[in-house]
Structure 1
Amino acid sequence: MPETVAPDRPTLAGSYTGADNLARPFALAVGRAPGHPALIFGDEMVSYGTLLNQVRRAGAGVSALRRDGAPPRVALSLGNRAELPALFFGIVAAGGIVGLLDPKWSASQTAAALETFRPDLHLTTDTAAGWIAAQPAGWSIPAVDPQTPFLVGFTSGTTGRPKAFIRNQGSWLATLEASRVEFGIGTDDIVLVPGPLVHGLGLYGAVEGLSAGATVRVQPKFDAADAAAQLATCGVTTLVLVPTMLVGILDAAERDGRRFPALRRVVCSGAKLAPAVHERLSALCPDAAVLEYYGASELSFVSLRSSREGAPADSVGRPFHGVELSLREHDGTPVERGRPGTVWVRSGMLSDGYLGTTDGAGYREQGGWGTVGDYGWIDDDGWLRLVGRAGDMVITGGLNVYPAEVEAVLRAHPMVAEAVVFGLPDPYWGDALSAVVWWRGNGCATLADLRHWCQERLEAYKAPRRVFAAADMPLTGSGKIARADVRELAKSGGLEVVE
């Protein structure tokens, strides 16, 4: 049996995993306080009672789509609107499947996703509100088999080719239970979710808050200055977002002289926060816990690095509540502690794989354990460190380099705000290890300085041989850095070369 890490974690009273429907925790929150604000979109407030009425109408409409016992499939192409949470809970309450489509996709991307998902109903920004209003009221939430699929989301996986992953209701009930233990969001919290709800982090942040009876504030479109103002004046206790959005909010807050007096926790995922971001955040809200988690759409939560637990800065923390980790060689045998291996995960939160045909890369499952191909190692104190993903590895001069390891070192440089590392074709090295950096403020550094910085902290061959500086940061729809676009800019000569 491979070596595993599965620390005991305290649990809280009650349990989401005992629910008979993924929408049940939300419905119970309504029963406790129907007049409590559930959603706030700008000047619009939706109470829990009003939202439940919308959920029931949506559930009635989805139930009517059922044919031959198969779960109804409903595709949603919506921006950040109040209808999206109502439709989400209504679809899953009726035992249906939500297909999340980004309204920013091109026509061809949307058509490809619809061809994969094959929905019984496709609702858009223009049709969603009218469709909900046309459904009958008074429908009751039934019990649902926890193995019932409820979500199909699209992820680029390890190769950039979109894949449609599937989650079942039981996996998200287990996820809600785990995050309740780790994050502790409750009825007195005000949760700000500034990112798009069609992406996993934003959707889960909203669902988690509504399942806990909290008030969830959502921006129609990400606006760093408005988010900073809400954090300063609206009693926001919890912030859920990706690192690039957090940096934008900090920039706006520092420019406008704002502080975040009520903030208790910052939940962040998608990439590691640079040490300077931790310092800036601490200056604005010194009592807030920073909760960075590592995970994947197919795996859910894997590990957690809390600012209150003393985890090493270069780690992604310890196993999340309910998670076991196993590090293995390519042939499946366990690795010795302290040596890198493929990160395998066992928990009740794993996905059901992919819908339709795939390229064979990405998520794999074996004997109840799952992996997306990430490599890492665990130190003697149980902290997990990531060194990269199989598809990201650069072979330079015959030696293997995982970009994540080099990026972490570059981000720690006092002049570097963010970095992306990759290989560029080179006749001598095969791939020349290269980096794109974004400077901090008005600072800058030379190529020799950055190489020396890396060589003092890593093996010499892991120091980038080419460095480019960028002013703008291309982002994906979810707010993460568009790594493929950054590499293409460097390859095509569209960036400044750091001499």
Structure 2
Amino acid sequence: MPFASRVLRAGLSDPDSVAVVLDGTSTTYRELAGRGARVARALRELPRRPRAPFGDIHLPSHLVAVLTDNAPQLPELLVGATSGDGACALLDPQWSAAQTAEVLRRLGPDLLVTQRARSAAADAATALHIPVVMLDGDASAPDSFDGWLAAHCDADPERELTSGDDDSVFFVGFTSGTTSTPKAFAMARGCWRTSLALGAPFFDTATAQVSAAPGPLQHGVTLYALAEALDAGTTFVGARRFEARELMRAVRAHRVQRLSLVPSMLHALCRDTSPGQPPLETVTVCISSGARLDADLVTRAARLLPRARFVDYYGASETGFISVLQHPLGDRGKGVGHPFPRVEIEVRDPHGRVCAAGVPGEIHVRSPYVSRGYLWAADETRMFAPGGWVTVGDQGHLDADGTLHLVGRKGRMVITGGWNVYPDEVEAVLRTIPGIDDAVVAGVPDAFLGTALVAVTACSGPGGPPAYPDVVRSCRAALPSYKVPVRVYTVPALPRTTSGKVARAEVDDWLARAHGGDSPLTELAPRPGRPS
């Protein structure tokens, strides 16, 4: 991370303050700086593997890959590995063994740090002659992380925890993969340094003393929340996995003021709050990303977090912040807000021409937060274009006042009966219907329409799912008839990725098996006819 010197400063000025709490294990700034310095020293003494540039992207002289859950050692690994000109790649525990092996082969790190439960990854690294260090197990074992650091107990934080150049790569991140090799992107230190500085007024990083983000650190929301806290010299509270009641207990115990999560987590917090349970009074700002916050969820969340200001930002791991929406308690606000400071936004038609206000097209952005690019060729249309402009394929439009509105993803558009439908718009309507917690809309083959629009809804409330006619009535009140799902299925909960987003590929698999008897989906009610 681009904050090793900040950790050092806090370790010298306020050494006994708590830097990180992960799964109940607390680490002070003195401990974090000391152990981070040992990691930095140990990595610098490793033999360097030959590493060719990826196009015009040069990775630093030392690179460590980390494959673990939210282990307590992860923050010190991040601090030490990214000190000076070092870089860290966080691999996703949800990848298959084949995906992990392929990423290691392409990336060629100087070291893999993992857990004994990831033996397949360790075997793949060994076959590639990549040294392996294990986070768990006996400290006397030759591959033990603690044993590896013990040889560097004399590492001086003031000597080891240094700042790298703004243009140097400090982090290799990955897009979500399904079965293909995940795409790797390289982020430069200056990108995060700039966004951390300019984001403070929006996200209260300079005033809040305790932040919490319950997701895995491999994913942007949680990782950035950790960076914000350490950059400000405050406390970060995390967990090995998200569990709503555990998060509520942690918020109360640590008097959390900043809460960073995705909407599905916020929904779970609201859902699992027992009647009569006191609200979370210490939270003053709730930061959401990954999907749009709908008005109903904001209203319910405001009852649980009565003192909180809600901030909703739009962006992607590769682009950083694009827009930010600040709104009063319980008020959804317009679109996804205005451009984040120093972000330029253009909406372009299929011919690359800039669209007029209100006209939808593909969203392109240019900013100092954009990553250096992909390390290996993307398996879809390349997002990086000449002139510094970038697109992730999202469709939307700009109002005359500069407010950005999202329509959906270009790759997710469904053509049904000759009409173009973006599932995001239909999903937003479905989430407003009483009894529906969340929804996914997709297209399935249909002899009459070519592709039929169907919905999978999560309905976990005591009243059960709504009746199909009620769903149709609500959709017709807000949407044209061709956007009304012709079939609606229900499940207790939608499958999630480790970052809390809906695992759409798994939902697609459920739909493909819906009539074979081995799918968890239940159709709400037989349809007497197609919506018209």
The number of aligned residues is 480
2:118 is the counterpart of 1:137: no
1:98 to 76, 88, 92: 88
1:192 corresponding residue in structure 2: 212
Give SS of 1:171's match. helix
1:125 to 94, 115, 119: 115
Deviation per CA, 1:405-436: give whole Å up to 9, x if none: 11111112233221111111112212111111
Give SS of 1:367's match. helix
In the alignment, residue 469 of structure 1 is paired with which amino acid?
A: T
In the alignment, residue 24 of structure 1 is paired with which amino acid?
A: S
Question: Offset at 1:205?
Answer: 0.9
Deviation per CA, 1:154-174: give whole Å up to 9, x if none: 113799762111111111112
Question: Offset at 1:311?
Answer: 7.1
Give the 5 Å matches for 1:14-413: 22-65=3-46, 67=48, 70-125=60-115, 127-128=134-135, 129-130=145-146, 131-135=148-152, 136-138=154-156, 139-156=159-176, 162-186=182-206, 188-254=208-274, 257-308=277-328, 313=333, 315-361=335-381, 363-413=383-433
Task: Confirm or deny: 8 A CA contact 1:21 1:142 kept in the other structure.
Answer: no
2:473 is the counterpart of 1:452: yes
In the alignment, residue 522 of structure 2 is paired with which amino acid?
A: E
Cα separation, partners in 2 of 1:42 and 1:364, compared to 1, 3 Å: closer
Task: Confirm or deny: 8 A CA contact 1:158 1:389 kept in the other structure.
Answer: no
Give SS of 1:490's match. helix
Task: Confirm or deny: 8 A CA contact 2:298 2:330 kept in the other structure.
Answer: no
How far apart, in 2, do the equivalents of 1:150 and 1:53 lie? 20
Deviation per CA, 1:277-322: give whole Å up to 9, x if none: 2122111222201111111111111111222399755621221222
Q: Using the TM superposition, name which of 336-345 and 307-316 deviates more.
A: 307-316
2:123 corresponding residue in structure 1: none
Deviation per CA, 1:62-98: give whole Å up to 9, x if none: 2223648952121001211221111111111131221
Question: Offset at 1:27?
Answer: 2.9
How far apart, in 2, do the equivalents of 1:338 and 1:132 lie? 57
Q: Using the TM superposition, name which of 110-119 and 210-219 deviates more.
A: 110-119
Question: Offset at 1:143?
Answer: 4.1
Give SS of 1:231's match. helix
How far apart, in 2, do the equivalents of 1:480 and 1:21 lie? 27
Task: Confirm or deny: 8 A CA contact 1:433 1:464 kept in the other structure.
Answer: yes
Give SS of 2:437's match. strand
Question: Offset at 1:363?
Answer: 2.3
2:523 corresponding residue in structure 1: 497
Task: Confirm or deny: 8 A CA contact 1:394 1:402 kept in the other structure.
Answer: yes
Deviation per CA, 1:451-495: give whole Å up to 9, x if none: 332222222211111211111321112121101111221221121
How far apart, in 1, do the equivalents of 2:179 and 2:455 lie? 19
Task: Confirm or deny: 8 A CA contact 1:157 1:362 kept in the other structure.
Answer: no
Cα separation, partners in 2 of 1:476 and 1:143, compared to 1, 3 Å: closer
Give SS of 1:61's match. helix
Question: Offset at 1:342?
Answer: 0.9
TM-score, length basis structure 2: 0.85
Deviation per CA, 1:323-351: give whole Å up to 9, x if none: 22111112221101011111111110001
Question: Offset at 1:253?
Answer: 2.6
Deviation per CA, 1:35-69: give whole Å up to 9, x if none: 21111234432111110111111111222236489
Task: Confirm or deny: 8 A CA contact 2:19 2:233 kept in the other structure.
Answer: yes
Task: Confirm or deny: 8 A CA contact 2:489 2:522 kept in the other structure.
Answer: yes
Give SS of 2:242's match. coil
Give the 5 Å matches for 1:439-478: 439=459, 441=461, 442-478=463-499
Give SS of 2:192's match. helix
Q: Show structure 2 runs of 5+ residues with no match.
A: 51-58, 117-133, 136-144, 526-532
How far apart, in 2, do the equivalents of 1:491 and 1:313 lie? 37
Task: Confirm or deny: 8 A CA contact 1:209 1:215 kept in the other structure.
Answer: yes
1:420 corresponding residue in structure 2: 440
How far apart, in 1, do the equivalents of 2:204 and 2:230 lie? 13
- Identity rate, percent: 37
Larger RCO (CA within 8 A; separation ≥ 6): 1
Give the 5 Å matches for 1:476-495: 476-493=497-514, 494=519, 495=521
